[in-house]
Structure 1
Amino acid sequence: MNRERVVVVGGGLAGMTAALDCRERGYAVQLLEARPRLGGATYSFARGDLLVDTGQHVLLRCYTAYLDLLRRFGVADGVLLRPFRVPVLSPDAVPATLARRNLPAPAHLAPALLKYRRLSWAQRLRVTRTALALRGLDPEDPALDQQSLGQWLRARRESPRAVDALWGLLAVAALNAEPDNASMALAAKVFRTGVLDETEACDIGIPQRPLSELHGAAGQRALEAAGVEVRVRCKARAIRRAPEGFQVPVEEQTGDGVITADSVVVATPHPAAAGLVDELPIRGAGEWSRLSASPIVNVHAHFDRAVTDLEMAAVLDSPVQWVFDRTRISGAGRGQYLALSQSAAQQELGMRTEDLREIFLPALRELFPAVARARLLDFFVTREPHATFRQAPGTAAYRPAASTSVPGLVLAGAWTATGWPDTTEGAVRSGIRAAEVVDAQQRSRASVEVTA
């Protein structure tokens, strides 16, 4: 076993992955989390007889690193993967459907695009040609990050209706940004890797357990079983160089202290990361704030009876963006509990719950007539002001690599330069990369010491 000590700061998906991988490589690992639980931004809380996730998470089959992490946590059965099929609702309109066929990519989506009744025949033909053009893009092309998805689509002469009813429908959910505010490089990654390149890549996975069980609780069990020392309610205040390695001053319930380490992985959101490394000469750290943040707002409505038989649906021409049936997963004892996921929700973020109720209850009645006959048992709102970084054009320049200009100080998090959008997959991949960098640097130092 290696005797080198690794401290991981941050117990979200990136930090848990980095800690588990470092431990499996033989390092002595401590994971520090300021909150009383692991899981980062993905957690659940009790409200009456409901166990509520702070946000509705959906994954795709192409999230291979994330799905592997769930396997390592022992909860792979906590996600149900199904072939891509999304009902698309509009008020006073017959539902449409986007679904893949068992055909070689990209033909697997052609029937759905050509039959998509939310667009005219001419618009359907054009979006099919645009999909083929998207498949020819390289998401790593720096030039793509200098323009928005909206700009690129207009250059392809896509109609405003096609942008709203198809490209924006998917991009807003995936990038938490409207097409005119979304990096074309990240959009190309979403559409190519997630939709166009492989037939089964777009298959949808919906968690079948509350997120606190799927991530935080399962992750802590797996980490402790592997030999990681997990310290919750342990807040790192700074990271400082020491004569040998690093010192991490911490605050705990038992008092303040200092933890020493040979390597430190910072796996916190970028504002917290910038504060932690403020005393170190990290090149580019002053630019991290340019990544900013984009919010997600979730509207929750619990009715005394079932109002729809849909498990999930996308919505057009309505304040509602996506709706999910959370009844069984939340443990609701009666009725039906729906969660509405609103991405890029700058406007909704600052609105009162009462005002949101006046908007979204009538919108639900337009989509599901049975709402008019149902009694509302509960209505509440959860807000994630910093759900993702702002995935706008030009942000690639501010996303740092895992390795830094200070040897031994390594970064992880979905906001780092993973090549992926800010997703669970990006977070896990960043943790994997952080552990690789820690190991490479430790081995390099060991080799130098042996040579000396």
Structure 2
Amino acid sequence: MTHADGTRDGGEVADVSAPRPGAHAVVVGGGLAGVTTALALADAGVRVTLLEGRPRLGGLAFSFRRGDLTVDNGQHVYLRCCTAYRWFLDRIDGAGLAPVQDRLDVPVLDLDRPEGRRLGRLRRDPLPVPLHLGRSLATYPHLSLAERAGVGRAALALKGLDLADPSLDDRDFGSWLAEHGQSPRAVEALWDLVGVATLNAVAGDASLGLAAMVFKTGLLSDPGAADIGWARVPLGELHDRLARKALDSAGVRTEVRTRVTALHRDGGGGWGVHIPGETLHADAVVLAVPQREAYDLLPDGALDAPENLLEIGTAPILNVHVVYDRQVLAAPFLTALGTPVQWVFDRTEASGLKEGQYLALSQSTAQHEIDEPVATLRERYLPELERLLPRSRGAEVKDFFVTRERTATFAPAPGVGRLRPGARTKAPGLYLAGAWTATGWPATMESAVRSGVGAAGAALGALGRSRGLLPDFFEEAA
């Protein structure tokens, strides 16, 4: 007996190479890019199968259990200007679980002041751009008066850059900042404060094109563009449970623990997608996997220069998790200067912790720490937290652990733009999605969702299906 999924009783592999009625798309990869692609295709009436090798959806933005805690592998935030990710949250009925600040407000503690710890804030006023940040910049205590004035001039120069100019990708942001009068202190206390968290690179290692995109879009496009949003629940609640519920409601067949081993062109002009025990026929295939995995699956001739995928570097993120027996941080998050600590988030309520406080430290650009032993990291970060948070000095550490994402993002180095492929390949019916593809954004949740919508749009066009249901931000990648 042959089942609807193409398998036969006894484990025999069924021949499913003949096309079935209606368009069928297979999406390989169940991260944000893959889930978005599947939802967009299904909303347009395409029959979709989503295949994910892990036992869960969500890619690198996921949760796991540690004792009684539900732990995110890392802290993920987004901005109000991230219209694609906000659309995704709406689509899975999760927007209320990851709200955005009413108004940008970031506490910045400097531990290296001669007079001791000093608190500054980056926040906006209800004024038009660029006046919305004027008062915050004018009173920012971590820069001198001359440095603050210089930041304003550099911001205006940045606003004048043309993001469509490909030459921006060939330059590094740090050199551009130096040319525009930015002192090392201004870079550390302002530009890298934002850039490291969004680009996962310091200014000197980042493409000017990507950095300009981040600052122009986030700080210089709309007064509320940089307001910060984050999940008040575990990421798995959004990117796995609610995403799977939305996929089920859309009629998507979702298979986890299912790894694609190969692709081939079949005799009917479509694709055969090989998984253990089964070969799926597809009229369209979207590879929504990391660039190295995509390289391994791509057939010959699909890209002019497939080796470019292997030249896209990766950058790690280290996350340090500390559970105290009492509250030591009153704010939902803060960032710091003069310490290895970058951003600290309160994850107590989201994790389900009933007593004490659970803090997550998100450490980008962690190339020199990513493989260090937990004991070494504990010796480094607990004293730094005591410097940063005086209440922690008498608190008991109930748990200390780390999570490591060695390939958390693609490296936004100068020249990376010409390595990032668009959604279309030269193989008819085969498309690419992922934060590393040519979305114009750095490796963020926003980029992943945009890539998924772009791949779905390209596939729908080739299948002769309407793209009218795609969200307003849709722009097809070449």
TM bracket (short chain): over 0.9
Q: Structure 2: how far apart are the matches of 1:365 and 1:389?
A: 33
Kindly indicate whether residue 288 of structure 2 is the aligned counterpart of residue 267 of structure 1.
Answer: yes
Residue 351 of structure 2 aligns with an amino acid whose one-letter code is S
Residue 165 of structure 2 aligns with an amino acid whose one-letter code is D
Q: Structure 1: how far apart are the matches of 2:198 and 2:237?
A: 24
Q: Structure 2: how far apart are the matches of 1:281 and 1:64?
A: 31
Residue 362 of structure 1 aligns with an amino acid whose one-letter code is P
Kindly indicate whether residue 169 of structure 2 is the aligned counterpart of residue 150 of structure 1.
Answer: no
SS in 1 for 2:48: strand
SS in 1 for 2:464: helix
Aligned match of 1:285: 306
Q: Structure 2: how far apart are the matches of 1:185 and 1:2?
A: 45
Aligned match of 1:209: 233
SS in 2 for 1:111: helix
- Shift, 1:313, TM fit: 0.6
**5 Å matches for 1:248-397?**
248-251=273-276, 256-279=277-300, 281-397=302-418
- Shift, 1:347, TM fit: 0.8
Percent of residue pairs bearing the same amino acid type? 48
Identify if the C-alpha distance between structure 1 residues 334 and 248 changes in structure 2 by more than 3 Å, giving closer, same or farther: same
Kindly indicate whether residue 66 of structure 2 is the aligned counterpart of residue 47 of structure 1.
Answer: yes
TM-score between the two structures when normalised by the length of structure 1: 0.96
For residues 342-379 of structure 1, give each alpha carbon's deviation from its aligned partner in whole angstroms, at most 9, with x where no partner exists: 00100110110000001000000001111111000000
Judge conservation of contact 1:45–1:51 (CA < 8 Å) in 2.
yes
SS in 2 for 1:126: helix
Residue 202 of structure 1 aligns with an amino acid whose one-letter code is A
Q: Structure 1: how far apart are the matches of 2:150 and 2:303?
A: 47
- Shift, 1:281, TM fit: 3.5
Q: Structure 2: how far apart are the matches of 1:282 and 1:187?
A: 27
Judge conservation of contact 1:241–1:280 (CA < 8 Å) in 2.
no
Kindly indicate whether residue 127 of structure 2 is the aligned counterpart of residue 103 of structure 1.
Answer: yes
Judge conservation of contact 1:323–1:340 (CA < 8 Å) in 2.
yes
Identify if the C-alpha distance between structure 1 residues 408 and 119 changes in structure 2 by more than 3 Å, giving closer, same or farther: same
Aligned match of 1:242: 266
Kindly indicate whether residue 173 of structure 2 is the aligned counterpart of residue 180 of structure 1.
Answer: no
TM-score between the two structures when normalised by the length of structure 2: 0.90
Q: Structure 2: how far apart are the matches of 1:207 and 1:85?
A: 17
- Shift, 1:284, TM fit: 2.3
Judge conservation of contact 1:240–1:280 (CA < 8 Å) in 2.
no
Q: Structure 2: how far apart are the matches of 1:76 and 1:300?
A: 26
Q: Structure 2: how far apart are the matches of 1:21 and 1:2?
A: 20
Moved more, 330-339 or 86-95: 86-95
For residues 178-218 of structure 1, give each alpha carbon's deviation from its aligned partner in whole angstroms, at most 9, with x where no partner exists: 11111110001100111111001111101111000011111
Out of 71, 85, 88, the position equivalent to 1:66 is 85
Aligned match of 1:447: none
SS in 1 for 2:42: helix
Judge conservation of contact 2:301–2:426 (CA < 8 Å) in 1.
no
Identify if the C-alpha distance between structure 1 residues 280 and 240 changes in structure 2 by more than 3 Å, giving closer, same or farther: farther
Q: Structure 1: how far apart are the matches of 2:162 and 2:338?
A: 32
Q: Structure 2: how far apart are the matches of 1:347 and 1:207?
A: 29
SS in 2 for 1:187: helix
More helix by share: 1
Aligned match of 1:404: 425
Q: Structure 2: how far apart are the matches of 1:405 and 1:390?
A: 26
Kindly indicate whether residue 143 of structure 2 is the aligned counterpart of residue 119 of structure 1.
Answer: yes
- Shift, 1:282, TM fit: 2.5
Residue 311 of structure 1 aligns with an amino acid whose one-letter code is P
Aligned match of 1:17: 36
Kindly indicate whether residue 95 of structure 2 is the aligned counterpart of residue 76 of structure 1.
Answer: yes
- Structure 1 gap segments, 5+ residues each: 445-452
For residues 49-82 of structure 1, give each alpha carbon's deviation from its aligned partner in whole angstroms, at most 9, with x where no partner exists: 2111001011100111111111110111111211
**5 Å matches for 1:123-142?**
123-142=147-166
Identify if the C-alpha distance between structure 1 residues 219 and 2 changes in structure 2 by more than 3 Å, giving closer, same or farther: farther
Q: Structure 2: how far apart are the matches of 1:364 and 1:233?
A: 39
Q: Structure 2: how far apart are the matches of 1:42 and 1:126?
A: 37
- Shift, 1:279, TM fit: 4.4
Q: Structure 1: how far apart are the matches of 2:199 and 2:302?
A: 31
Aligned match of 1:422: 443
SS in 1 for 2:59: coil
Q: Structure 1: how far apart are the matches of 2:175 and 2:324?
A: 42
Count of aligned pairs between the two proteins:
440
Q: Structure 1: how far apart are the matches of 2:244 and 2:208?
A: 37
Q: Structure 1: how far apart are the matches of 2:302 and 2:138?
A: 55
Residue 271 of structure 2 aligns with an amino acid whose one-letter code is F
SS in 2 for 1:313: strand
Judge conservation of contact 2:94–2:238 (CA < 8 Å) in 1.
yes
SS in 2 for 1:140: coil
Aligned match of 2:471: none
Out of 87, 110, 129, the position equivalent to 2:107 is 87
What is the RMSD computed on CA atoms of the aligned residues? 1.2
Q: Structure 1: how far apart are the matches of 2:454 and 2:43?
A: 14
